[in-house]
């Protein structure tokens, strides 16, 4: 069996990617690593993991990628040919108050993965970068050719460092690496710290939702299935190993944006979300949304717009994310009702 190692497997993107690979391939064994931390509700991570454990060709290891001994042991035992590093401490705002966690997971953890790939050669290392590396860039859409030397959060700085480390290891050790800059990923069983999920929780509890930059933010919302499709296409086409005129390797290194290329205004996004929450029966039809909205200034570390240029992704892989925001939020609202509201009703019977 071909071995795939996916870090962050109980996370939002990691679990969806692992599930898709396991469903589509009987001849691939997925080894998953996750430290199951409590940055957000662990029961969500357990739910995702249970879905994966239904597959006989899935093996889960609970542990931290910052633990070098563990990573070395996993590589030596399973000898993965494909590595997808999605384990990371996520969240821009959290990085302002908890920087140490980001250094451990996003920097030391990624270094451990690179070192393991160096000593146990792999066909391809694919890793999560982020649209946050574009910082306060005002030229849109964001292109991978743009300069990204001015991050506005520590989270963004750690993701930029991943790209630099990967380039160095590609150059020195001829390891094929591809970084993917994800743009605001959302969908069913997503992260509760993301706006659409957090807004839903607050509205259910009758709390007020804060809409930053007075609603003048735009986000390139990307549905999780589109992200997974992009990752799978990238996995199967590693950057080619070539030798330069100097006889040294030309780094088999690439970076792509994966975004919807259609930035949505935050107020429009909130309106669609509330319509879909009512439609799914999460909120009553007569819910007074206006009294539960508060327009507030921009938060530190945030940027006013994210907008992906996905031309290189289309050119090299024939793929462009295309799930509409309404379709994606509809799927989320229906999942939310089933996972939270119907489950609670079942308990109270």
- Please provide the DSSP assignment of 81-130 as one string: SEEEE------HHHHHH-HHHHIIIIIIHHHHHHHHHHHS--SEEEEEEE
Whether 155 is catalytic is yes
Measured between alpha carbons, how far is 204 from 287 in angstroms, rounded to an integer? 10
Local structure of 260: helix, strand or coil: coil
Task: Give the whole-angstrom CA distance, residue 231 versus residue 20.
Answer: 11
Distance CA 114, CA 68 (A): 11
Catalytic residue among 94, 134, 155, 256: 155
Contacts of 279 (CB under 8 A, 6+ apart): 330, 333
Give the integer Cα–Cα distance in Å for 80 and 98: 32
Cβ burial of 343 (10 Å; 0-12, 13-18, 19+) is exposed
Q: What is the CA radius of gyration of the chain?
A: 20
* Residue 223 token pair: 């549905």
CB 266 within 8 A of CB 217: yes
Tokens of 111: 């270094």
> In the beta sheet, which residues pair with residue 250?
242
What does the alpha-carbon distance between residue 257 and residue 142 come to, in Å, rounded to a whole number?
A: 8
DSSP secondary structure code for residue 189 in this structure: T
Task: Name the phi and psi angles at 273, rounded to 5.
Answer: -60, -45
DSSP state of 141: S
Q: Of all helices (H) and strands (E), which one includes residue 72?
A: helix 68-78
Residues belonging to the active site: 155
């Amino acid at each position: 069996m071909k071995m795939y190692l996916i870090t962050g497997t109980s996370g939002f993107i990691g679990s969806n990617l692992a599930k898709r690979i396991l469903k589509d391939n009987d001849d691939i064994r997925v080894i998953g690593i996750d430290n199951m931390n409590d940055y957000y509700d662990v029961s969500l991570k357990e739910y995702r993991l249970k879905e994966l454990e239904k597959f006989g060709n899935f093996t889960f290891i609970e542990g931290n990628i910052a633990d070098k001994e563990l990573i070395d042991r996993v590589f030596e035992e399973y000898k993965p040919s494909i590595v997808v590093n999605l384990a990371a401490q996520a969240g821009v705002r959290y990085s302002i108050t908890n920087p140490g966690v980001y250094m451990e997971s996003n920097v030391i953890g990624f270094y451990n993965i690179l070192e393991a790939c160096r000593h146990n050669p792999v066909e391809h290392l694919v890793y999560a970068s982020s649209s946050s590396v574009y910082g306060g860039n005002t030229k849109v859409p964001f292109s991978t050719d743009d300069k990204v030397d001015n991050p506005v959060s520590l989270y963004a700085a750690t993701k930029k460092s991943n790209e630099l480390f990967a380039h160095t290891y590609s150059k020195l050790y001829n390891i094929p690496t591809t970084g993917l800059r994800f743009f605001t990923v959302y969908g069913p069983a997503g992260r509760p710290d993301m706006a659409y999920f957090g807004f839903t929780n607050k509205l259910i509890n009758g709390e007020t939702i804060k809409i930053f930059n007075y609603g003048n933010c735009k986000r390139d919302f990307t549905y999780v299935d589109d992200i997974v499709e992009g990752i799978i296409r990238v996995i199967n086409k590693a950057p080619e190993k070539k030798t330069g005129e100097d006889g040294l390797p030309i780094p088999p290194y690439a970076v792509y944006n994966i975004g919807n290329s259609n930035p949505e205004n935050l107020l429009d996004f909130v309106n669609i979300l509330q319509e879909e929450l009512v439609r799914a029966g999460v909120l009553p039809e007569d819910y007074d949304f206006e009294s539960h909205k508060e327009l507030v200034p921009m938060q530190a570390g945030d940027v006013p717009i994210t907008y992906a240029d996905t031309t290189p992704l289309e050119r090299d892989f024939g793929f462009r994310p295309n799930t509409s925001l309404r379709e994606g939020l509809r799927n989320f609202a229906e999942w939310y009702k089933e996972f939270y509201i119907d489950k609670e009703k079942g308990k109270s019977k």
